[in-house]
Amino acid sequence: MLDDLIKQAQQIPDYPLASWTPEFKGDMDLVVEANGTWIHQGQPIVKTKIMQLFSRLLQRQNSGDYWLMTPVEAFSITVEDLPFTIVSADQTTVDTVAQWQFTSNCGDQICLLSPNQLQVTLDELGQPQPQLLVRDGLWARISRSVFFQLAMACDTVQTKTGPRAILVSAGVKYDFGAI
């Protein structure tokens, strides 16, 4: 059955998680660490395909809790920060319009197209915490190296409060903060 689910995960971009109403609910000893490492029963998941399968079964509840869903079972898991990490970014051109495409640590391909898809907040030390919407309320932390790559691609725009770093993708402007 696991092999079948893995094959389906490779072929189906998203499972219909919202339509599943599993009868059994429990806890699973699965932690997604802040650095993006998935840990099951104290051991890192080293098989990429298993991590990809789990990532496609992941759902975030309105309460902020994360669950692995199947049609018959649901298991709560622990996510220390965000469930995914953006590990690469490429600027591409589609119909003469430049846009950014990102890849997550679980293999998701995300095009930056809509205004609310990218957020840059500040942590308690005032450091930027960029994140990207992957799908269905699931966000990815943008890795430091990718963030620096994006920062280098930003335009400087003068505002009333001073210069701001602005990234443009598919004609949409994203504010990366004060310079």
Tokens of 8: 């389906």
Task: Return phi, psi of residue 92, to 5°.
Answer: -125, 170
**Measured over all CA atoms, what is the biggest interatomic distance in the chain, rounded to whole angstroms?**
59
Copy the structure tokens of residue 18. Answer: 């919202």
**Of 79, 96, 131, which residue constitutes the final position of a domain?**
79
pLDDT at 2 over 60: no
One domain for residues 13 and 45: yes
Q: Domain of 26?
A: 2-79
The tokens describing 75, both together, are 């298991």
Q: What domain count does the chain have?
A: 2
What pLDDT does 94 receive? Answer: 87
Listed residues 61, 79, 97: the one ending a domain: 79
User: pLDDT band for position 178 (50/70/90)?
Assistant: confident
Residue 137's pLDDT is 94
Give the tens place of pLDDT for each residue, 126-140: 889 999 999 999 999
Query: pTM for the full model?
Result: 0.88
Q: Which of 15, 47, 79 is the last residue of a domain?
A: 79
**Residue 123 φ/ψ, nearest 5 degrees:** -80, -175
- Mean pLDDT for the chain? 92
